[in-house]
Amino acid sequence: MAPRGLIPAAPARAGLDAGELAALVREVDALPARGWCGGAVVAAGRGPYLAVEHAAGWAVRWTAAGARAADPEPVRTDTPFDLASLTKLVTAVLTVRQVERGGLGLDAPVARYLPEFGAAGKDRVTVRDLLTHTSGLAPELPFHDGHGWDLLWRQPLTRTGTCYSDLGFLALGRLLERVTGARLDALVRAEVTGPLSMAHTGFGPVPHAAATEDQRRPRAKADRGPLRGVVHDENAHALGGVTGHAGLFGTARDLAVLCRALLSGGGPVLRPDSVALLLDAPGLGFAVDQPWFMGELAGRGAAGHTGFTGTSLVLDRATGTFLVLLATTVHPVRPARPDSRPRAAAATRLARAVRGPLPE
């Protein structure tokens, strides 16, 4: 069955060049052999058309660091991946949905809805500040060392300007639960994945997901051993696996459906003006025009995000294009120096594939 809102189609029907998309597929095919990732799935298209859906490499290539699997398991187009920080995009959608309904004010203090957050001088931090990473919160805290939520409530502001922070989206997840009275996983199902028929997206555990890391200190923040189907992020794991900054698993086609919904005005999840709040610069949750992972799609208002496990998503309202690249760059261990060049190269291939206006 085709994903809701998407029509599998030849590149020409989508106004895309077949040669550029063939090159995109070849380059993704080469990534596991190069050692950039264990496995990858790419989905790309334009408007309602899904022109590329391709898998390369292995869902499980190593049983542990340095121990190659005797029978590696190939990745498939419907293999779920740990989405890592792409979770933040769904949290942002849920937050703007509550703003749309009048349950939240973007410029209202977070402490109005979540009083414990206001401790340690955080009483003036707004919902918008959390969404734009301008709250002054540090990037992260060591929940993985046995701490609970009180560690965040006691945390003072330590930064100025823009500072990417997992803590802001951790707080947003709790804020959404407080305002709605529902758990975050239930909210995601009711408000996003259910209405969009994203049947393969949700919080773990997901036993058949692509494996991530043999997680051990000192390269990681915790000693958990080989991970498959449980959240990779150490802090999300320590807080129960259902958080606003990480924890979702999903497939490339499900995320392509989300891209299509946003590109077509948000229905049935958001109104067009709410989509504009998310995607217009500087973006709410979404990063805007970032060439380091968007390649040549950046420059006209492209929006998206990346995830630590190797995931990325880009959508471009100017051309109607979308690109989802899910990969396991941490399999079997995280790289010493992350490399986003393959993400940018894939986005550039899609940008160069655009031929004329979007077909009707």
Distance CA 320, CA 20 (A): 17
Per-domain residue ranges for the chain? 7-82+201-353, 89-189
Instruction: Quickly state the pLDDT bin for 4 (edges 50, 70, 90).
Output: low
Structure-token match 């077909």, residue found: 359
79, 209 contact by CB (below 8 A) = yes
Element (H, E) at 51: strand 49-64
CA distances from 315 to 45, 89, 294 (A): 10, 12, 9
Going by C-beta distance under 8 Å and a sequence separation of 6 or more, which residues neighbour residue 285? 88, 89, 91, 92, 93, 95, 131, 169, 278, 305
Closest CA to 42 of 349, 327, 328, 291: 327
Instruction: Quickly state the pLDDT bin for 3 (edges 50, 70, 90).
Output: very low
What is the fold, at CATH topology level, of the domain defined by 89-189?
A: Methane Monooxygenase Hydroxylase; Chain G, domain 1 (1.20.58)
pLDDT digits (tens, 9 = 90+) for 103-155: 999 999 999 999 999 999 999 999 999 999 999 999 999 999 999 999 999 99
pLDDT digits (tens, 9 = 90+) for 183-212: 999 999 999 999 999 999 999 999 999 999
pLDDT of residue 301: 97
Supply the CATH classification number for the domain 7-82+201-353. 3.40.710.10
Res. 1: pLDDT tops 80: no
Q: Please give the mean pLDDT across all residues of the chain.
A: 97
How many C-beta atoms surround the C-beta of residue 106 within 10 A?
A: 17
pLDDT of residue 360: 73
pLDDT of residue 90: 98
Q: Specify the pairing of strand 49-64 against strand 7-8.
A: parallel
pLDDT digits (tens, 9 = 90+) for 28-87: 999 999 999 999 999 999 999 999 999 999 999 999 999 999 999 999 999 999 999 999
Give SS3 for 186. Answer: helix
pLDDT digits (tens, 9 = 90+) for 262-311: 999 998 999 999 999 999 999 999 999 999 999 999 999 999 999 999 99
pLDDT of residue 354: 98
pLDDT digits (tens, 9 = 90+) for 165-186: 999 999 999 999 999 999 999 9
Q: What are the phi and psi torsion angles at 257 (to 5°)?
A: -65, -45
Element (H, E) at 73: strand 67-74
Portion of the chain with pLDDT greater than 70, in percent = 99
Going by C-beta distance under 8 Å and a sequence separation of 6 or more, which residues neighbour residue 243? 87, 169, 170, 173, 184, 233, 235, 236
pTM above 0.85, yes or no: yes
Q: Which two tokens stand for residue 245?
A: 């900054």
